[in-house]
Structure 1
Amino acid sequence: MDAMQVADTGHRVPKTYRVRTEIEAILGELAEGDPVPSERDLAARFEVARETVRQALRELLVAGRIRRQGRGTVVSRPKMLQPLSLSSYTEGALSHGRIPGRLLVSWDDVPADADTAAALGLAPGSPVMHLERILLADGERIGLESTFLRLDRFGGLRADYDPTTSLYAAIQAAGVTFAAATERLETVLATPREAALLECTTALPMLLLHRHTTDSTGAPLERVRSLYRGDRIAFEAVLRE
């Protein structure tokens, strides 16, 4: 097969795309955790430069098909699907057979900036509770969640809430109902700090989810900024007419 084979569309197929397709066929015959052939072996098999193989592997890494393990590369499990719904991260992870977890980064009272104040119905500078936590799936770091809550309404959480568990469950246990949410999803790159917390590089595409939630009375509950590794998670929504 020529490295720049002409496709049915009449356009030339980039060499990297052809190599990536060939590697994907190899991955289809392997199981999760199996080692991926080395760059040298793949370059020899496809008679291409190692840089071509390296680029194809980078694309497969971003796509979540493979992952780094030590000094090598292995086949990754499929991306975790997280629903765009009022369910919590915990519920979403459990529904796909994953074990959810969280690591607390910080839990502070901070003055609300203009966006947070508007989302929570407060005056700018009002004190709000801020929780920053790393989201885990089967022990792997896949997201960084930053949650802002009204201090005058949820300050009592400090007494007995375990921040490594579901915040939604704790709020619902207090008799509060999550009724509606507005979400915005976009692609971004992580800052050096965020990449360090998520144990990835700043070149890895991220999915950034903004959420404003209200209760059954229409009162604002939270403002959430969640950053997810684009190679480990995908989102899905059920649409009905």
Structure 2
Amino acid sequence: MPKSYLVRTELERILSTLGEGDTVPPERELAARFEVSRETVRQALHELLVEGRIERRGRGTVVSQPKLTQPLSLKSYTEGALSQGRVPARLLVTWEDVIGDDELCEELGLPPGSTVMHLERVLLADGERIGLESTYLPKSRFGEFTETFDPGTSLYAAIRASGVEFASATERIETVLASPREAGLLESTTAMPMLLLHRRTLDTEGVPIERVRALYRGDRIAFVATLRE
């Protein structure tokens, strides 16, 4: 059995005795305790780091808080975070009007060359950056949001308040690595696995509402779905 696996097993036992924010023993101490090389300890710690069990703070390592679990549903990010006692927030990165390409216009049910609103925001939970969300909305339908919408608040709440009802969405989730720009905005690294979500949402009349591309830190968030036959 690989030494790194045995070390990881012992590290998990140690973590089970610690609380959120507690300091994990340093590599040198762990290597001496387990009688292995520091490289072996480093590999086991890296695996736990990628899984979100631990995190770097300054020059040390501490136990992470549990991942934020988001439901795959038509609930907003705000609702999902609040339901778990977390404090949601958003940082505006980009808010601009763009000319949609043929694919984007088709997905939004618009004529080719239509103007589309692009809203890009960093998602936060308890002040920690966990996601980067890019939303595309038909300018002809939601143009008033330029004057009325606060980008630090829930977009879904604003859409519902405008009289639009959500009915269905198609989502695809895959694992990717972030670009240098994305990693910088998420205060992560290009080596950290990310969850990429694509979503197209329709209203009760079958008219497209939005197209979303959202990138989430794999060490900070998980998704859950309720399945019924």
Name the TM-score class by shorter chain. over 0.9
- Out of 220, 223, 226, which is 1:235 matched to? 223
Structure 1 CA distance, aligned partners of 2:18 and 2:55?
Answer: 14
**How far did 1:169 drift?**
0.2
In the alignment, is residue 67 of structure 1 matched against residue 82 of structure 2? Answer: no
Q: Which residue of structure 1 aligns with residue 155 of structure 2? A: 167
**How far did 1:204 drift?**
0.1
**How far did 1:114 drift?**
3.1
Structure 1 CA distance, aligned partners of 2:209 and 2:68?
Answer: 27
Q: Which residue of structure 2 aligns with residue 180 of structure 1? A: 168
Question: Following superposition of structure 1 onto structure 2, how do residues 91-170 of structure 1 map, counting pairs within 5 Å?
Answer: 91-170=79-158
Question: Following superposition of structure 1 onto structure 2, how do residues 37-76 of structure 1 map, counting pairs within 5 Å?
Answer: 37-76=25-64
Structure 1: tracts of 5 or more residues without a match:
1-12
Percent identical pairs in the alignment equals: 72
Letter in 2 for 1:57: L
Structure 2 CA distance, aligned partners of 1:114 and 1:198?
Answer: 30
The CA deviation string for residues 123-171 of structure 1, in whole angstroms up to 9 with x for no partner, is 3332100000000000000000000000000010011110010000001
Number of residue pairs aligned between Structure 1 and Structure 2? 229
Structure 2 CA distance, aligned partners of 1:236 and 1:226?
Answer: 16
Letter in 1 for 2:195: L
Alpha-carbon distance change, 128 to 37 in structure 1, aligned in 2, over 3 angstroms:
same
Structure 2: tracts of 5 or more residues without a match:
none
Runs of 4+ in structure 1 off by over 6 angstroms are none
**How far did 1:14 drift?**
1.6
Q: Which residue of structure 2 aligns with residue 90 of structure 1? A: 78
**How far did 1:113 drift?**
2.3
**How far did 1:115 drift?**
2.8
Structure 2 CA distance, aligned partners of 1:204 and 1:59?
Answer: 11
Q: TM-score normalized by structure 1? A: 0.93
